[in-house]
Amino acid sequence: MSWQDNIENTIFTIRTGDGKLYTPDLPINYETIKEFNAATFEFIDQPGALITRKLVRARKFELVFYFQGAQNIEFADAFDTSANDPRAWVVRHPQYGDITGQPISIRRNDTKLNATEITVDFWETITTTFPVVFIATADQVIRLQDIFHVISPVNYASKVDLKPTDVSTLTTFSQDITAIIKKGMDAVHYTEFVTDVNNMANTVNNLILSPVDAISAIHDVILLPSKLALSVTLRIEMIGAIYTSVARTLSLLPSANNKAFFETAAGISICSLAQAITAPLAGDYITRDQVNSAANNLYDMYQDYLSTLDASYLPIGDINSAFSASQETQTALQDVVLQALYNLNTVAFGAKVERFVMLEKDAQLIVLTHKYMGLDAADANIETFRTINNLKNNNVFLVPKGTQIKYYV
């Protein structure tokens, strides 16, 4: 069908969100706008800019139409009322066909005698339910961690033959990690800390009768550092100290029971680290090196864990020390680690890279900040630039020649 046939045979209609159908007069003055999702990247030592373009954005139409005749005011009033319904419109247009969209703005002009002019800024909308909801990666880590938290204590209980000496070993361990965590405890989590520590002490005393409850309680305490309002660096150090304490328990007595305890307690330590590094505080990750350092900490701890389990393996024929890792536990832990590393890899792409330059002549702090970071209304960049370059008060007005300057790109 030709464009002439479309214009002659298609009636311009608007079905508003409340279901009412309107057929105003549409002059032949058609125009649409197509825009794309795009981003601009500018570089301090490169003229011009890099423009990246992604998928097309919503089409935009400026619809100008009229309600004419003796009842133009009544029709315009009814249309104005229908336009308040937030549901999408369906417009049948002689040039562009059927369009589902939303009016972004509506202008009404009643100055003509028997015609009311309506101008609508109309944007086409997708008809499926968008945006698609994705679970945040930090939440995915927690969800996978919860699976480990449930499975691992059960697998531990299925492979141990507990004695009073095991109660003593886990009591000593519980006291060690309580002391480690207490040093960095914040006010927000203090009540939770006290509750979890008391529950751990009580359930460890009952380890022989209820090993699942005891291990689960130990898990709860080991997970606490990942939630604290501390920098990622401090949380990594705290969880690393806990992991070392677990490993020490095994090294002092490499019994089958202690090997099983290492598998679950060291595993939840790795989960705690994964949660900590995927939930950074503001300022934790500025550069790509900081993100990579956190990822390396998780990777190194996990590799040490796997090496220790491999060295701990003894076949079933050795009755007293026989041990093999639980497949379910290991699969659950691997899922946590892979998800956390994937998340950090994504973060690293968006993080800045450190660059260094040696000043060839004396310079002023403000000039250097403007050159390498840009100035802002609150002068926050000046303070940030001073901090990352360790510039003292005596360098505020003069940064001497030969000073190494660090900046981010």
Backbone angles phi, psi at 91, to 5 degrees: -110, 130
CB atoms within 10 A of CB 215: 28
| Residue 97 β-bridge partners | 93
Threshold 0.85, pTM exceeds: no
Which pLDDT does position 135 carry in this prediction? 43
| Residue 133 clears pLDDT 90, i.e. is over it | no
For residues 279 and 138, the answer to whether their CB atoms sit within 8 Å is yes
Give the C-alpha separation, 152 to 156, whole Å.
6
The most confident of 102-106, 184-188, 399-403, by mean pLDDT: 102-106
* pLDDT single digits (tens) 22-77: 989 888 777 787 888 877 766 666 678 778 787 888 889 999 999 998 888 999 99
| Residue 280 clears pLDDT 80, i.e. is over it | yes
Of 315 and 101, the structure prediction assigns the larger pLDDT to: 101
Q: Which residues contact 17 (CB under 8 A, 6 or more apart)?
A: 82, 85, 86, 87, 88, 89
Range with the poorest average pLDDT among 14-28, 204-218, 389-403: 389-403
Residue 120, SS3? strand
| Residue 407 clears pLDDT 80, i.e. is over it | no
Which pLDDT does position 32 carry in this prediction? 80
The most confident of 29-33, 248-252, 313-317, 371-375, by mean pLDDT: 248-252
Which pLDDT does position 352 carry in this prediction? 63
Which pLDDT does position 46 carry in this prediction? 67
| Residue 164 clears pLDDT 80, i.e. is over it | yes
Give the C-alpha separation, 183 to 239, whole Å.
12
For residues 106 and 67, the answer to whether their CB atoms sit within 8 Å is no
Burial class, 371, CB count within 10 angstroms (exposed 0-12 / middle 13-18 / buried 19+): middle
* pLDDT single digits (tens) 167-221: 999 999 999 999 999 988 888 889 999 999 999 999 999 999 999 999 999 999 9
The arithmetic mean of pLDDT across residues 275-300, rounded, is 87
Which pLDDT does position 131 carry in this prediction? 45
Give the C-alpha separation, 332 to 152, whole Å.
9
Burial readout 124-137 (b: 16 or more C-beta within 10 A, e: otherwise): beeeeeeeeeeeeb
List Cα–Cα distances, 189 to 145, 213, 229, 325, in angstroms: 20, 22, 9, 33
* pLDDT single digits (tens) 216-269: 999 999 999 999 989 999 999 999 999 999 999 999 998 999 999 999 999 999
Which pLDDT does position 409 carry in this prediction? 63
